[in-house]
Structure 1
Amino acid sequence: MWRSFFLAVGTMLIILGVECMLIDSATFAAEAPAAPVQVKNESWFETPPVMQSARKRVVKPPEWIPWSSIATGAVVVLYAMTLPARWGKG
């Protein structure tokens, strides 16, 4: 069980590192509100409902994140491969 857990963690770290290497930035947007919001306007005509803009969050990973994630994932995968032999079950 521990071997499969460490294999999964190491594989996910490697995948995360490769993804961070391929992108420059990632933009996350919050969900838009379900109902339109009426804008308060004091003029004589009625304004149409306006949707609130969703807040956006831009993430730019530093240059060291992909390499350290790939290296850590590789070490964890190698550790998982030697785990049964080190516990006398290999």
Structure 2
Amino acid sequence: MSISVLAREDYSSEKGDILNIYTNDIPIISSLVSKSKKDGIEQGMILFITIMILLMIDVRIALISLIGIPFYLMLPLCFRQKIADQ
């Protein structure tokens, strides 16, 4: 971005910028966080119920199908540094 674009009046720091952040951005972020919590709890319950149903149907097949979960959860840890380097 060139300096002339940043020097325009639209990008200048004004008193209204801080007020704009409080009136527009904070409610959006708050809504996102509360929705994320709700979705996380919902997905956790679905996973728990699914595992319980699998165990009730057949324990051996349930345990075999659940073997991959730790590897799936470790993938972000393995690639975190590679992603951060990019």
TM over 0.5: no
Higher relative contact order (CA 8 A, sep 6+): 1
Higher helix content, 1 or 2: 2
TM-score (normalised: structure 1): 0.30
TM-score (normalised: structure 2): 0.31
Higher strand content, 1 or 2: 1
